[in-house]
Homo-oligomer: A and B are copies of this chain.
C-alpha cells in the first residue's frame, strides 16, 4: 500500500541523479560499498549474535506499563554494556524526565562526517494469551526470531551495533564518526525526547542521521519514508453511578454508561467518514499534486491486503483513496473501549455505571497535537448528557508532530544508493501513516532530516501478537550499514 510506483520513483531518481552525478562519478568506485572484508565476520558470528539478541528481546522493556519501569532501565543498562563491549567505551545511560536514553559516541575518524543512528529499545504491550510462544521468551523457528520487540525495534538497534562491531573488529577503527541515540519511550510517543534533544543539542550534532525503526518492502524491494504522521492519544472514563446496578431493579431508569459512551463515540464521525469534531481539519494542508501523484502511483495491492487481514472493504473519508487517507489525512480512531461485564465467560445482569474509552489521532503536517486534543475534549463535553462524570487519564502526554523529508540531501542520497546496490532495485519513496517521534523531534529541534534505514518487514506482526524478525534481515541489515558508512566515508555526497 505505502509504496511509490516505479514510474514516479524513476522520475525522482533522474532528478536526484542530476545533482548526484554532478559531484560523483556515474558509477561510484566499487570499493566504496565493498564489504567483502566484513561479510565473513558478520556471517561467522551469527550464532553468537542470536544468543545476544535473545537476551535483549527477553527483557520486557514495556514503556507504557508502570510496573515495567525497572525492566526498561535494565534494558538500557544491558544496551550500554553491549555497546562498550564492542569497543565504544563512551556509551552512557543518560537521564530524561522519563525513561533513559542510551547514548554512545565514537569520534576518532578525524575529518570524516558524523553519522547519528537512532533507534528505540522499548516495546509495545502484549496480549499474552494471543501469543503462540511467550512474548518475552524469544524462540528461533523457521529462520525467524519470535518475541515482542524482535522487529520493532530491537532488531534495528542490534543490527546497527553489530555492523559497527564488524567494522571495529576488522579495521580497529570506523570509517566515520558515530553517535548512537537509543530511546526508551518510542512506544509511548517519545514523550520526553523533545526536551532531551533540546538540552543535549551539542552532543547530538551530526551531518547524517538515520532511523533504524523502519521498514523494507520485501526481500528484494527497498523503500524509504518521505513523510510521517503525528500522533495524539487520550483516555477517558464516563461515570453514571458509583457502581454497576442490577438490571432488574434499576433497568429502565438507571443511566447506562456503556450506552452513553456508545452514543458519544457515534458522534465522532459523520456519515461521509469525516471526523465530526469541530475544527479538526482547520489546519490540514490540501494534498499537493506531487503527493497525489506519489500516492496514485504506489504499487499498493489493496486486494491482497484485504484478503490477508480478512477485511471486506476499506472505509474512511469520502473523496480520498486508501493511500491518501493513510499518508496524508488525519484520523480519529477508538483504540479501546470497555464497560460492564467483560470477562470471557458468564454474564452479569447489570446496568454499567462506568465506561472507558481510549482514542488515537494520527495527524498531518501543520496540525498541532495539543490543539487537536483540546478540540476533542470540547466535543466530548458538549455531547454528553447532563450529570455524567467525565475524567481524563494522563497518558504521559503522548504527542508527536508530523514531518516531511527532502530528497535533496547527502544523507538521503547515500541511503538511496546503498539500498539500490544491495537490493538491486531502487527504493520506493513513500509517505507513511505511522508516526515517529524521533524523526519529528530531530527535525523540529535540530533541523536534522532523519532518514529511514531499517529492515523490518510489513508482515512481522510488529504491534500485534507473534511478532518476529527474519534472521536473513538481521544479516542483510549489517551489510547495509557497513556499506552505508563506507560510502559516506568515501565522500560521495
Residues 273-314 of A contacting B (Cβ, < 8 Å): 309-314
Taken together as a complex, chains A and B put the C-alpha atoms of A122 and B326 apart, in Å, by 51
Asked if B350 and A335 make an inter-chain contact with CB atoms under 8 angstroms apart, the answer reads yes
Judged by a CB distance under 8 angstroms, whether A125 is at the interface is: yes
| Known interface pairs A254-B309, A333-B351; 18 further A-B residue pairs with C-beta atoms within 8 A, sorted by A's residue number | A64-B345, A124-B348, A231-B349, A247-B333, A251-B331, A253-B315, A253-B322, A254-B311, A262-B264, A311-B387, A334-B339, A335-B341, A335-B349, A336-B341, A336-B348, A340-B358, A341-B358, A342-B356
Residues on B with C-beta less than 8 A from A242 are 309-310
Q: Which of B241, B311, B433 contacts A240 (CB 8 A)?
A: B311
Asked if A337 and B262 make an inter-chain contact with CB atoms under 8 angstroms apart, the answer reads yes
Contact (A235, B317) CB under 8 Å given A249-B2, A322-B253, A434-B249: no
Residues on B with C-beta less than 8 A from A351 are 333, 335
Q: Give the size range of A's interface with the partner.
A: 35 or more
Contact (A362, B248) CB under 8 Å given A309-B242, A346-B62: yes
Contact (A340, B341) CB under 8 Å given A262-B266, A347-B233: no
Residues on B with C-beta less than 8 A from A263 are 262, 265-266
Asked if B342 and A347 make an inter-chain contact with CB atoms under 8 angstroms apart, the answer reads no
Interface-centre pick from A2, A127, A266, A329 (highest chain B CB count, 10 A): A266
Judged by a CB distance under 8 angstroms, whether A397 is at the interface is: no
Q: How many copies does the complex hold?
A: 2
Judged by a CB distance under 8 angstroms, whether A385 is at the interface is: yes
| Min distance, Cβ A27 to any Cβ of chain B, angstroms | 36
Asked if B231 and A325 make an inter-chain contact with CB atoms under 8 angstroms apart, the answer reads no
Residues on B with C-beta less than 8 A from A329 are 252
Taken together as a complex, chains A and B put the C-alpha atoms of A331 and B385 apart, in Å, by 20
Residue of B nearest to A233 (CB): B347
Residue of B nearest to A244 (CB): B464
Judged by a CB distance under 8 angstroms, whether A470 is at the interface is: no
Taken together as a complex, chains A and B put the C-alpha atoms of A310 and B242 apart, in Å, by 5
Asked if A248 and B336 make an inter-chain contact with CB atoms under 8 angstroms apart, the answer reads no
Asked if A336 and B345 make an inter-chain contact with CB atoms under 8 angstroms apart, the answer reads no
Residues 118-133 of A contacting B (Cβ, < 8 Å): 124-125, 127
Asked if A64 and B258 make an inter-chain contact with CB atoms under 8 angstroms apart, the answer reads no
Residues 320-370 of A contacting B (Cβ, < 8 Å): 322, 325-326, 329-331, 333-343, 345-353, 355-356, 358, 360, 362
